[in-house]
């Protein structure tokens, strides 16, 4: 079975369209159709039902997907191993990061990487840290540069790059901005916090001993949005030390310390590509 035919089959099954599959594979639609027809003749069975403009997998086609996906995964793993034997770092690196890290931590590093490794094609996706970890586990991306989970999946390797201290803040003209503030006083006021279920929210919940009775005005995964809302005086929030400026007042709660760890996650069972190792090396030098 030709590997290019398998790629065409999986592309059509994923997109439910011969034209979209052709676009993804940089082929013409007739070329994709021919590859599918070749497979169907070889297997002596229909893989897709073509009803008008609709393309649907047959039962046989559905049954073939897991095995053919494993074939491609093993092929890509073999190619990565061979790639690591070459001295020149080149190829494709698919990775993800959070919006905050992409905005505040990565630009200079990626600029340096591109200059040192011009033959590497970078594919950067922005997503929540939790989603990035799941995509690493599923093999959709090779690296995630994210807020590190406190209780990671055992299949993941974690490499800390930055400490990220965080503080409770209010607007400079907020009623809590003058004098000392207790935890009880803070929790009586409306809050603007990261969404429940995120690594950052879990850290905040633990540090401030938050429960379901907390007065939450807004939940958002974007720290820049939290800062902007806090600046208007709507409530208190928690943001990294690196984002605090004169528009905000830090509220120090006695015995409370919050610090995220930012870094890289990758799958223990996946052989890292040359580009991935090169990026990890650059990140290690920026601790």
Structural domain boundaries in the chain: 3-83, 91-162+262-284, 163-260
Domain covering 163-260, topology: D-Maltodextrin-Binding Protein; domain 2 (3.40.190)
Condensed to tens digits (0 to 9), the pLDDT of residues 195-248 reads: 999 999 999 999 999 988 889 999 999 999 999 999 999 999 999 999 999 999
User: In the CATH scheme, what is the code of domain 91-162+262-284?
Assistant: 3.40.190.10
Half-sphere exposure of 287 (CA within 13 A, CB side): 10
Cα angle for residues 218, 224, 230 (degrees, 5° grid): 50
Instruction: Kindly report the backbone phi and psi dihedral angles of residue 96, in degrees, each rounded to the nearest multiple of 5, phi listed first.
Output: -140, 160
> What tokens were used for 113?
């990487």
Half-sphere exposure of 217 (CA within 13 A, CB side): 15
CATH architecture under which domain 3-83 falls: Orthogonal Bundle (1.10)
Q: What is the pLDDT along the chain (287 residues), one digit of tens a residue?
A: 689 999 999 999 999 999 999 998 999 999 999 999 999 999 999 999 988 778 899 999 999 999 999 998 888 888 877 766 665 678 899 999 999 999 999 999 999 999 999 989 999 999 999 999 999 999 999 999 999 998 999 999 999 999 999 999 999 999 999 878 888 899 999 999 999 999 999 999 999 999 888 899 999 999 999 999 999 999 999 999 999 999 999 998 877 889 999 999 999 999 888 899 999 999 988 65
* Fold match flag (3-83 vs 163-260): no
Helices (H), the chain: 3-15, 18-25, 29-43, 59-83, 99-104, 107-116, 129-138, 183-187, 199-208, 223-231, 274-284
């Amino acid at each position: 079975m030709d590997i290019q035919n398998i790629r065409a089959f999986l592309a059509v099954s994923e997109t439910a369209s011969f034209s979209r599959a052709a676009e993804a594979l940089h082929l013409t639609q007739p070329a994709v159709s021919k590859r599918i027809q070749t497979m169907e003749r070889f297997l002596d069975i229909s893989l897709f039902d073509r009803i008008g403009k609709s393309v649907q997998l047959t039962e046989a086609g559905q049954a073939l997907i897991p095995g053919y996906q494993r074939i491609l995964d093993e092929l890509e793993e073999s190619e990565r191993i061979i790639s690591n034997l070459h001295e020149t770092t080149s190829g494709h690196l698919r990775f993800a990061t959070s919006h905050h890290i992409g905005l505040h931590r990565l630009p200079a590093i990626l600029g340096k990487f591109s200059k040192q490794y011009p033959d590497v094609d970078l594919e950067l996706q922005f997503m929540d840290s939790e989603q990035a970890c799941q995509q690493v586990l599923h093999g959709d991306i090779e690296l995630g540069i994210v807020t590190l989970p406190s209780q990671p999946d055992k299949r993941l390797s974690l490499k800390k790059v930055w400490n990220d201290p965080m503080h409770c803040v209010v607007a400079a003209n907020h009623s809590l901005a003058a004098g000392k503030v207790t935890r009880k006083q803070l929790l009586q006021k409306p809050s603007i916090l990261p969404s429940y279920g995120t690594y950052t929210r879990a850290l905040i919940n633990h540090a401030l001993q938050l429960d379901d009775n907390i007065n939450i005005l807004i939940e958002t995964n974007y720290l820049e949005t939290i800062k902007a809302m806090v600046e208007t005086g709507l409530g208190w929030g928690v943001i990294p030390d690196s984002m605090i400026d004169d528009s905000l007042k830090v509220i120090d709660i006695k015995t409370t310390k919050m610090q995220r760890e930012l870094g890289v996650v990758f799958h223990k069972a996946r052989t890292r590509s040359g580009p991935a190792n090169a990026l990890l090396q650059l990140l290690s030098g920026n601790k």
